[in-house]
Every structure is written in structure tokens, then in C-alpha cells.
Structure 1
Amino acid sequence: MTKKLTKIGVALGLATATMALGGGALAQDCTTKIGAVLPTSVDWGKPIAATAQYAVDLANEAGGVAGCQIEMVLRDSQVDPKVGVDAAKALVDLDGVQLLLGAVSSGVSMPILTSVTVPAGVMQMSCCSSSTAFTGLSEEGKTEGLFYRTFATSGVQAAVGAMAARDQGYKSVAILYKNDDWGQDIGKLVAKDLEALGISVTGSIAINDAQPSYRAEVTEALKGDPEAIYLAIYPTEGTAVVREWLSLGGTQNMIVANALKSDEFRDNVGLQYLGNTIGTDTASPRSDSASAFVDQYSAKFGTEPNGPGLSNSYDATMIALLAMEAAGKDATGADIAAKVETVTDPAGMPISADAAGFAKAKEILSGGGTVMYQGATGNVRFDGNGDVSAPAVMWRFTDSGTEEQRYISLEDVDAFMASVK
């Protein structure tokens, strides 16, 4: 009887041990939330969010991040600063995220940074904010190293816009810009570059959201009889402004920033009025990793990544998740931000921007090594302010979307920017 009880006790002990091991295995089956504040209520914003989610899916396919699967909690910014701030606060206060992807538009990203992420110590990674005001804020120590962006500063697009005006032989240009951080910044920069090239700026007019009419602003812009207009505005107000401009006899010679690289804008204005329009945008380098992303994206979504910010959104998400992996489980925003350098190290092991590359990175990072992320925008390099530089393109509208007209290498962009300074 005693022997039998002993055997039962041993069996129960083994069962208890097995249950404990099983409980430990289950404990590893966890989820970590990250936040995303992106403009999903506008047509050009939905693909940006879908691309970020795609990167999350690939990281999860590779085994997750720091032992956990990633859940991206997405909230719509509506390209509205107040809505964006409220969304970010909910993600930080209610969902407890330590990483926030967003926003699109410097005018939304800036108040999120200053009133939400920096005070809360949360890392913020933006795919699509270009204002040089972020650089100034960092130089003053006010971002606390928590802000990174994979989109080049407004200086690149402003310079290429001025280059386009020069190439077209325009002698005078009126500027209409969105009245927010991004618009004010790029409007000021393009005016300076145009004047440096000897091109007269006949007027620089701010455009506010949701006005019933833009007749007063357009009339003001027409006063100097410019040969062309430069537009740094978004599709909704852009449609209204251009319709008003054309109805009052304004020229069809237009240079537009990438915010108007939109099927919605093209269709609502009419392609027949946009034949002389030249668009500008930053571009991915002509590299194997950028080409691989195009193939990979096309296979996933059935179309090439032609919309604004898609390659930047992918790289922003991938780099942020790799930094989370390097920082380890339960990392703070500051911990994650501090590891960005580890995963974009020029001397690190090159990794591809897919599930296999992410899995390889996990192995290298777990051994204390560093990696060199090679992504949709090439080998991403951040400076001390969390900024990147980039090549650029000029493009035109077509029946099916947009078509690249000219590629300007990073070296040529830098050389031109230096010349106008």
C-alpha cells in the first residue's frame, strides 16, 4: 500500500511539473500592442495604414517581437491635429503603447509629439512628416531622442519644386500652401529656393481647411499674373483651390508637392486640366532592396506601391519593430528609440526587409550583434536628429495614376540644395 501511494505521489508530482512547464509555455504566448495614428478616412491614407499592417504581419510570421506577437491598434487621424492628438492619447493612456507609428502630415505629428509622446516617454516613428521644425526641436533637445522619420525633410521637395520651375523656364510663380506646420515650412523653403534661382515669387498664400470658398485666396494669388503656381496642399482643399483657380482664368502650369499625388485629386479636377502639372516626391534609391519591395508589395496587394508614403510606411514600421526586438520584452519607448542605431548600423549584418530577414535579425540581435536594415527606401540612415535624406522624382498624372518623368539621385539632390544655399 505504501509503495502504491508513493507511485501515485510521484505520478502526481510529474503531472504537476508537466502542468507547470505547460503554463510556462502558455505564458510565452503573449501580445504586445503598438499604436498607429494614420488617416484611414482618406483614399490615399488607407494604403499607408495597410502597408504598416503588412510589415507587422511579416514580423509576426517571423516569430513576433521580443517573444510576443504584435497587435497594431490603428486609429484614424482624419488629417486633423485635434483628432490625431485625441487618438494618440487613447493609444498611450488606454492601450499602454510604448511605440506610436504616425502621423501623416507634420501638422498632426507635431502636436502628438509635443503633447503626447514626449511627455509620456513613448517612441514616435513617422513615415510621412517632413517639416524642418522637427529638426529644430531635436536640436533644442525637446524630442528627447524619441522621434524618428523615414521621410526626408521638406527641403528636398522644395528644392526639386524649384528645380522643376527652372527647367520649365518659368520666370514667376505664386505659392499656395496648407496653413499648418508642413505647409508653412515647405512654402517658406520653396520661396527661398525659387528666389535663389532668380524666379520671382508673386505671392505666397495660406490655405485653411474646410473653407466654403477659396475665391479670396485664389484672387490674391492671381494678382501678380504668375506663369505658374506651386501647390503644397492636400487633395480636398486642393481640388477646391484648383477648380477656383482655373475658373478665374489661372494658368494650367502647376508644380505640386507629393500630397497631391492622389487619384482623388486627379479625378475631381479632371486629367484634361492637369497636362502641364509636374509633381515632386522623394524616391527610393535604385537599389536591389527597393526593387525587391516593389515585387513583394505587388504580390501582396496586386498593384505597385505608387501612392505617397508607402515605402516610407513600410520601412518606418519594420525599423521600429526591429528596434523593439533589440530592446527586449517590456521595453520602454526610450529603450526602443535607443536601439534604432543597432538595427540601422552601416557596419552591421545586412538583412532583407521581409519575414526571412526579420527572422535572421532576431537571431543576430539575440547574440548581441547589430544589423544593417536594407529596405524599401534602401539602407536607411538616421542622423542625430532622427532625419533621413533621399533621392527625388518628378512625375506627371496619367489615366491610371502617375508616371515618373525624372529621377534625381541623392548626390544630385544634395548638390542642387547646396547650390541654392
Structure 2
Amino acid sequence: MTISDLYEIYCQHPVVTTDTRDCPEGSIFFALRGTSFNGNDFALKALEAGCAYAVVDDEAVTGNNRLIHVDDVLKTLQDLATCHRRRLRIPVIQITGTNGKTTTKELLSAVLSQKYNVLYTLGNFNNHIGVPKTLLRLRPEHEIAVIETGANHPGEIRELSHITDADCGLITNVGKAHLEGFGSFEGVIRTKGELYDYLRQKESGFIFLHADNEYLRNISGDIETFTYGMPGKGYDVEGEVMAGNPFLHLRWRPAGGEWQEVETHLVGGYNLDNVLAAAAAGIRFGISPTQISQALAAYEPTNNRSELKKTERNELIIDAYNANPTSMKAALDNFRLMPANHKMAILGEMRELGDASPEEHRHVVELVGKAGCEEVWLVGDNFRPFAGTYRVFDNVEAVRKHLEDHPVSGRLILIKGSNGTRLFRLPELL
């Protein structure tokens, strides 16, 4: 079956699923394979559960005329998504970057929603499966899409760019993350830059450029840019931090425009770049500065990213979704500047750093030592050789057990670690 033929079926059944636990009536089941499962084994079950069709790539799966056999289910899902995106032809913004891409995606979506019906990536569905599933949620009523793309090895952003076929792109930044997969910091830059490479081939492609970032400037080349950054440099959008205790308070303006002051619900001056990116997108797509500021002020993070939470006993800065050397430094630098008498840090180890892991964990311990903390808890064996007098826990369960026996109160607590350390389970005990 050709993609065009499958697309005709999809138009009649425009909901896709890859999970037999979620089979809406009339949907299409894609039998994906994983390291520990084979979706083909569940195709008939999906049809019984309500799916109209099941797309499979195992010839042994037979017995129902609603089975659609293809060579590769994942490739078919991706090709179908690209076909659908191109049929609708609405503007698509693709976002990637080492840090801040999810927050930036949500800020952009909040700003653009002031004028448009926006489709955007839910959660962190930003990989080779999540991106096509997001694109297949596009409907004729949508007027613009914001698609987040992530990567942990070379070539991945190139692949996702071809699937997304964006009109414009935004790289939030480049930093030391997934070094095990990328091989080096230079490998990170090249992979993130694959988004620029794709847009460079498009006649009307352009990028939102954080023009103060020398790495991004150096790889932007001759692409059309819409720039944002610090004041006084002639950028299309400029802004600066005014205060950050604890929430980011900033001012910004479009080139030649009036200053706009915004009090956000985001913790950390490092979020300035994310906010300015959203403002730049708003200006480029015809949203007024007042509307942009209103959207930025109203946005509240609820995803364990730069989230401030007050409990009965403590005040928490929850940044427990992800961690790498770059984001750790930003979070600890910001925490150091926050005035508080009783500060505490609970830091989870960083993953996928390869040979750089020992040095980077040692550096984090040095940074937290300058943050003015009364107490520091480190979670994970990667910290153990460098912990000195700091308490080290094997895992989050050990932390939880300790908190049950020794409650903490009266503290401003930074919680920061890779998602795999599961520090997001701690706030309920603090």
C-alpha cells in the first residue's frame, strides 16, 4: 500500500495509536517494535479493542481484512505524518536545543495562542515516534504548529527535520549533554545545527536566532534570521533581566518599540533567553507586544521545570526533569544569587556523559559549594568520589526513606537532576 492510499484511509480515521491500552473507536493502530516488545503481536487485539485498522510489518500476522501490511511500520508512520503536514501547509516552527526547549515550546505556544489556533508538542514527545504522532494530530482548524525535537546522537535532528518539514526553526542553545552519544561538544553543535542545514535548503526557510550565542551565530551562515538577545545590539527583539527573587522579572521590546515589563512565573534569570525567543516569535507572526507580555506573564510551569512550589514546611525550586553540565551550572549560579538564610540543594547525577562524567560531576560539586547552602544532598554513585563532606544517597528511594525519618523544614530547596534519577518524587515529602 502506498502512502497516498494509506493517507486516504487516515483521512477517514484521523486518530493514530501505538498502544493497545488506548484504542479510540475508529483509530489506526501502528504496530511498532521496541527492544522488549513487538507491536505486531498485539495488532489483532487492537482491532478487537476498537481500532478500524492496524498497520503491521510481520507477514505472519493474518486473519483480518483490516490489517495493513507494510515493509516498516515506523517508517510508514513517519512518512504518513510528513504527508499530512505537507497537505495542510500551515506554518510549522521546529524547536531543538540542549536546554530550555520544552519551556520555550510552551512559551511560544502561549504567545502564539493569543492570535492563532496552535498545535504544539505535548509533554516531551520529541523523538522519532513522538514527532510524527504530534504531526498527525494536526487538523484543518489549526493555523500554526510548534514542534519540539530532541536528540541524543548525530543525525537525529536531520531525520526529525525531514519528517517535520518546518518553515522556520529555533535552537535554544547548545551545551554538554548526551556526550556519550554525540562524542563531544562539537558533536552536539553539529547535530543541533542539522536543523539550520535543513532550513538552509528551503527557499523561504528562516530561523529565530539567539544572536548573543556565538556557537549559534557561527553555524547560522546565510539563513534568514530574526534575532533576539541583549539590548543595544540592533536585534529584532531585545531584553534584559530586571530582578529574579525568585521569579524572573524582565523588560523587552521589539526593535524601535516601547519597553514592556513582565513579571513571569519562571524561576531563574537563565529563562530570559526562552522568554525572548517566545517574544520574537510573537512579533514575527504579528502579535502585539501587549498581547505577548500578557501571555508571558500568565504562563505557569507545571512540568518540573523552573517551578517554584511552596509547601507547608519549605519553599522548593523544582527543576527535576533533566540535568546536564550546562543546565546544572545555570541552576546553581541562579541559586547562589538568591537571598535566603537556609538554603539546601538536592542534586541528582547526570546521565549519558561518557568519559566526561567524572570531571563534570566534580565540577558540579564545586559549584554547589559556592551556592551558600547549609546542606547538600547528592544522589547517585557518579557524585561519590567528589562528595567530600556532603551526604550521598544511592538513589531517590534512599532519599525518601531518610526524609520519612528526618523531615526537613524551613528551607529554600533546589531539586535538580536527570529525569532518570526520579527526583520529581521528592516534593511530596518536602
Structure with more helix by fraction: 1
Q: Same fold (TM over 0.5)?
A: no
Structure exhibiting the larger radius of gyration computed from Cα positions:
1
Name the TM-score, length of structure 2 as normaliser.
0.29
Does 1 or 2 have the higher relative contact order (CA < 8 Å, sep 6+)?
1
